[in-house]
Structure 1
């Protein structure tokens, strides 16, 4: 039953990063576009996100519940020592959702629409940055456990691990991944006149991902981060990154010729490979602290609890996944099988 729970955990993680990341990326693209382009982007984003604008958050809820029930030791470290960036993530998600609704459905159309637009765009930027910073804090090795360091101060314990250059760069890297996903996916949603704009933004986003990825590696090496050295030494991570780099060529060709299905396939596959490389580097030691690495498989819930959790996930999956796919199909959100090329 443990492997069933792990499958649902990994699946939820990948789906949220890919689908939720694309939603955040749409706001990032809108934020960094000219005023002339923001209006058509806003219209396209609404048409794409409107029917399912909060559906993707189900994956992060499932992931949190799995960690809370099945892996309480890991959950405890994450929510206690990184409660500040996680609170900012929740604030960003809330502001994004509220702004998205009010900027389209507010009964009074006026100056408040500009405020809603700004809130939506900024929250779409800061949320993935703090998500990335949270992950960065988990792998930097600077988390100070209170039980091992009872005299440690508030800043050292709750602020320093995530408010550093390395975690910030990882946050920016994830934000660029989100903008890359959104620009690639939106190519298939735009009219012929707007498609070239998204193709151009997709190329810029790819360059931004490469640049921030390079900065993360250089900074990690300069600061002596075990995560980076282990990342480079891990053959599975190296193979995933190499394959992702090779796929840049067919992806650029797909973008150049506006091949919608190929853009989405190669774009989603590249991000999945990058996520796999990052996740496999230290697994099951996913958290590094000043006291050493914490094994993800330590402190598991009792077997009886894992059995109930696994059965609940299977039943829930049989209900949720078909319903989610039906929702996407009902609003013509599943584009992979449509011939739009």
Structure 2
């Protein structure tokens, strides 16, 4: 059952990066849109996000619950030493949800709408930045798992996640979210509006590639263990090279405004990036100042793993078809060019 639990752990991570990332990215796209395009963006985002925006964060909840039950040592490290960025992430998600609702359903149309819009856009950018910074902190080798009296508050709880590497990682994930949103929104509009999102997707792709290169370059120049192992891992390098090759058909699909192909290729990019990052150091997905922390050490008892595995299988059999039906019902999933041509 351990393999079942591991599968759902990374499957939940993939779906949250994909769906939740596109969710955040919609606000980022709106933030960097011109004033005349923001109304179009708000209407498009509401049409797309309205039916499922609450469902996107379920994958983060599932991921946290799995870590809490199956991998308590990992959960303890994350929740203890990264409690500041995690708190900011939760505040960002809450603020974003409040703004999303009130800017559409507030009965009184006044200046408060301006603040709701600003809150939605800014929280859409800040939240994924802190998510990326948290991941960067886990692999940066700066978390002090066994702090002593010589370590101060800043060294234990601030510096591991607040540094140049984690900032670059945070902006990389924010760019990834913008790339996902712009690519997915290509198929939700027509005419000139679709061309706008096509251009935004192309720009986001370029920014994403540049930031990804900066993350690797900075990590390599500062002799960071994770980046060095990443470069030396043939499977991770192969995944990134394949991702780079797929940029060519992705750009063609974006330029031709091909909804189905662009979405498939965008999802493939996310899968390859996650695989490359996880494969580099698995099962040691936390690199602390004292060394690697093995994910498979200090796991829950076998009985707990078995119960969790069965629960995830049953839950997945209920949730996944329901989510699929929800997205299909609201015209968010396409499988063929024939379906695409109807839009």
Unaligned regions of 5+ residues in structure 1, if any?
none
Asked if the contact 1:70–1:300 (Cα under 8 Å) also holds between the matched residues in 2, the reply is yes
Shift of 1:162: 0.4
| Corresponding residue for residue 219 of structure 1 | 218
**Alignment correspondent of 2:43:** 43
1:21-170, aligned counterparts within 5 Å? 21-145=21-145, 147-170=146-169
Which residues in structure 2 correspond to 1:287-298 (within 5 Å)?
A: 287-298=286-297
Query: How big is the shift at 1:148?
Result: 4.8
With normalisation by structure 1, the TM-score equals: 0.98
Deviations 1:230-285 (A, max 9, x none): 11100110100000010111111111111111111111111211111111110101
Q: CA deviation at 1:177?
A: 0.5
* Change in CA separation of 1:27 and 1:336 when aligned onto 2, cut-off 3 Å: farther
Please list, as runs of the form range in 1=range in 2, the aligned pairs for 1:194-273 lying within 5 A after superposition. Answer: 194-273=193-272
SS at match of 2:339: coil
Q: RMSD across aligned C-alpha pairs, in angstroms?
A: 1.0
Contact 1:16 1:56 in 2 (8 A): yes
- In 1, the alpha carbon distance for the partners of 2:7 and 2:178 equals 27
Asked if the contact 1:24–1:179 (Cα under 8 Å) also holds between the matched residues in 2, the reply is yes
Q: Which residue of 2 aligns with 1:336?
A: 335
Distance 1:202 1:278 in 2: 23
Does the aligned pair in 1 maintain the 2:147–2:156 contact within 8 Å? no
The Cα offsets for residues 45-84 of structure 1, whole Å up to 9 and x where unpaired, read as: 0000001111011101100000000000000000000000
Distance 2:327 2:264 in 1: 17
- Please list the CA deviations of residues 78-129 of structure 1 after superposition, one character each: whole Å capped at 9, or x if unmatched: 0000000011110111011110000000111111111000000111101110
TM-score between both structures, scaled by the size of structure 2: 0.97
Q: 2:320 & 2:248 partners in 1: Cα distance?
A: 33
Aligned partners of 1:82 and 1:134 also within 8 Å: yes
Worse overlay, 149-158 or 68-77: 149-158
